[in-house]
Amino acid sequence: MKKNYEEYIYRLSRDECTEEEKQELAGWIEESEEHRRVYDEVNSIVRDSPRLRGRERLDKEQAWQRVRRRTKKTSSLMRLARLAVSICLPFLIVVIYLLSRPGAPEPVNHENLLIEPGTTRATLYLSDGQSVHLGESREAPIVDLRAGSEIAFDEGTNTLNYHDTTRVARANPATHKIIVPRGGEYPLTLPDGTKVWLNAETEISFPLAFGPGSREIHLRGEAFFEVKKERGRPFIVHAREARVEVTGTSFNLACYPGEALVTTLESGSVSFITDHHARRLAEGEQATYNPRTGAIAVEKIDVKYHSAWHHGRFHFYDTPMREIAEKLGRWYDVRFEFADPSLEELRFSGAALRAKPIEFILELLEHTRSLQFTTLPGRVVRVEQK
């Protein structure tokens, strides 16, 4: 049986591992850089929530008595802490809490939703009018007849590499567009060697060859960029009412229609520019643009909560259920329906891998004893208070 080393890591933090388990875990960590990265990330989740860890040791009845005593003094929302159970790979150990109205816990009544996670898929639109479905087996090469270029495609990894594409004249470069649907994601390499990860419900357009003065693309949705550094030729992302300019850096940009435009800088530096304002970000900073007011708010944040998705993970910290529903809805191609608007503002913290069916995450949320999820026709998930 495959060992759940994520559970070992969590149990080690509580000094619950046997000596044999400790030795097995140490050997597993040394096997690869990926194992080391998972170990460090689970540890960071545990460190981020020390108060929640401590509450797990409280007697349940005593904890609820304390809750009831506190709620006699106030009718406002309060913070409850509960630890989600550890589950099978490939989930990380999840620590979840929420703001909710007081009440005794009820049995979990989880319905198996059987909704699978998203996959690596997209549609490529060539300048000659062709559309190519990415994510399917291909026997013929991808050739743009108008541009006279063959696009490098690795069928084993299902990725496009424009850096290895046959060269085209820069005088009149063709433009390509990639659209990732709900329930999808897609990685690619741009002509300059910049790596891009496209999240679900995202559209990107770019030239087959960048000009000598700048490297400009257009984005709608969300993407993570690792920009190849080139002095004197900035990389510019046009996103709705703003643009992000860099020379060489890694950052996340979310610009979904109807939502705030958010840039999160992981390394290097970027300039966030609108018609009326310009702000330069340092590592670990995030800029949020409000299109209604035109204001740009910059704050220091933990980058992993905004860029972990391209590593295959969800990270939430004090996140409203409304935002969680948006992210889960895009990845699993479902729509959430709230029985009461107030449920949208319940807040959760936790982390999990994106590779499992949605039922696993919903089950974890149901372990808070406050929410119940039901599937309806048309890939709708109804959210109700228990």
Question: pLDDT tens, 82-110?
Answer: 333 333 333 333 433 333 334 433 333 34
CATH of domain 212-301: 2.60.120.1440
CATH architecture of 49-115+307-385: 3-Layer(bab) Sandwich (3.55)
Q: Where are the domains of the chain?
A: 49-115+307-385, 117-185, 212-301
Quick one: residue 42, left, alpha or beta (phi over 0 = left, psi -120 to 50 = alpha)?
alpha
Bridge partner list, 350: 316
Instruction: Count the Cβ atoms, other than its own, within 10 Å of residue 172.
Output: 9
pTM: 0.74
Q: What is the pLDDT of residues 2-47, one digit of tens each?
A: 466 766 776 677 677 888 888 888 888 888 887 887 787 666 655 5
- Positions in the chain whose pLDDT score sits under 50: 1-2, 48-113
Q: Beta 335-338 vs 380-385: how paired, if at all?
A: parallel
Please answer whether residues 235 and 272 qualify as being in contact, where contact means their C-beta atoms are separated by less than 8 angstroms: no
